[in-house]
Amino acid sequence: MYAERVVSGMRPTGALHLGHYHGVLLNWIKLQHEYPSLFFVADWHALTTQYDDPQHIHRNAMEMVVDWLAAGLDPNQATLFIQSRVPEHAELHLLLSMMTPLGWLERVPTYKDQQEKLSSKDLSTYGFLGYPLLQAADILIYRADRVPVGEDQIPHIEFAREIARRFNHLYGREPGFEDKAKEAVKKLGGKRARLYDELRTRFQQEGDREAVEQAHALLEEIQHLSVADRERLFGYLEGTGKMILAEPDALLTEASRMPGLDGAKMSKSYGNFIALREPADSVTKKVRSMPTDPARMRRTDPGDPQKCPVWQLHLIYSDDACRAWAQEGCRSAGIGCIECKQPIIDSILKEQGPMRERARYYQEDPNLVKNILADGCEKARDLARETMRDVREALGLDYS
């Protein structure tokens, strides 16, 4: 039931920059080798704030996916897809909306924050209030247990956990649940059944989370259990009723340390970014015109790297020897700022080389990206359909 699975989404913002690369993307690229992973374009989430101007979403989505691929997400490793092409997300969102207390949504901190931040827009909409619920559906539909997100998204993951718990509590209580669960325990066989009971008691009496983990591992191992029995045993363990939806955990993505050209955090809205596929001459120009320590008015004035945004980039891109060279040269006025910047320009261009090549490959034939996404959508739908079958059944809506 607890699938070892990673799910995450990104709103389609168009071309990505090196801040995205050093923050989110490198992390996704690592995860794709460690777990079955699903990454999707959250185009419906974009609509919650851009409902008045939806025309750019499609193009932004495609550009973003090219950047994902350019950065190194591998369609043979990870499932890449578009949220709105897996309409099961919407069905689950609708069904969950029936049992979601309004107060829970109103209390999610991003709700008021974003409304205030985007005050030029009317965000007193049904869709925007439901943003975290749509996100919960995105996650729960894959029964994913790991969701890589930045710190700002932690309340949304917590919200998804609460929704899963509430759903299981409301609909996981089939008639005769206790008896059926006890039958399922017997089917584990003597030794395993005893271990399961022991772990269950340890959790229920002492709140021992480790016992839960151990019991999960035990159940994962067993091949011959039916899906229904497996769900019962997971639910019985924690006393929630049959576990139909799994509670996900956030995998906190460390905030990108990537500074922008002015030393502030690299961000599209500050205009201080270098795009993932920024043309080489433009990279050179942007870095050359970066501000430096204001005390270095003339080439002969010594400077202090601590007061210079270029130094922040050395911390990302340069090895010890190069950093020592920059420190020494700056403080003694031994090097000029243009000289100091050159190794950074070289490193960025080197980092971008393979990305530019992969991007060119995908851009030359737009069908490649289309096919990757169509493929990904199919794979995602297969998983989503499985969950929806159980969800409909739990609600008595399986008219078969």
CB of 149 to ligand TRP, least distance (A): 5
CB closer to ligand SF4 out of 141 and 330: 330
Rounded distance between C-alpha atoms, residue 65 and residue 288, angstroms: 30
- Following CA atoms 242, 245, 251, 252 in sequence, which dihedral angle do they give, to the nearest 10 degrees? -110
> Does the protein bind ligand TRP through residue 42 (CB under 6 A)?
yes
CB of 150 to ligand TRP, least distance (A): 7
Q: Which does 259 bind (CB under 5 to 8 A by kind): ligand SF4, ligand TRP, none?
A: none
CB of 308 to ligand SF4, least distance (A): 3
- Following CA atoms 222, 225, 231, 232 in sequence, which dihedral angle do they give, to the nearest 10 degrees? -110
Number of residues engaging ligand SF4 in binding (CB under 6 A):
14
Q: Work out which of 330, 359, 380, 388 binds ligand SF4, going by CB under 6 A.
A: 330
> Does the protein bind ligand TRP through residue 23 (CB under 6 A)?
no
Q: What is the DSSP string of 73-140?
A: --TTTEEEEEGGG-THHHHHHHHHHTT--HHHHHHSHHHHHHHHHTTTS---SHHHHTHHHHHHHHHH
CB 14 within 8 A of CB 63: yes
CB closer to ligand TRP out of 60 and 135: 135
Q: Which does 42 bind (CB under 5 to 8 A by kind): ligand SF4, ligand TRP, none?
A: ligand TRP
Q: Work out which of 159, 311, 325, 362 binds ligand SF4, going by CB under 6 A.
A: 311
Give one word for 67, left, alpha or beta, with left for phi > 0 and alpha for psi -120 to 50.
Answer: alpha
> Does the protein bind ligand TRP through residue 84 (CB under 6 A)?
no
CB of 196 to ligand TRP, least distance (A): 32
CB 216 within 8 A of CB 224: no
Q: Give the interface with ligand TRP as residue ranges (CB under 6 A).
A: 7-9, 11, 42, 45, 135, 138-139, 147, 149, 153
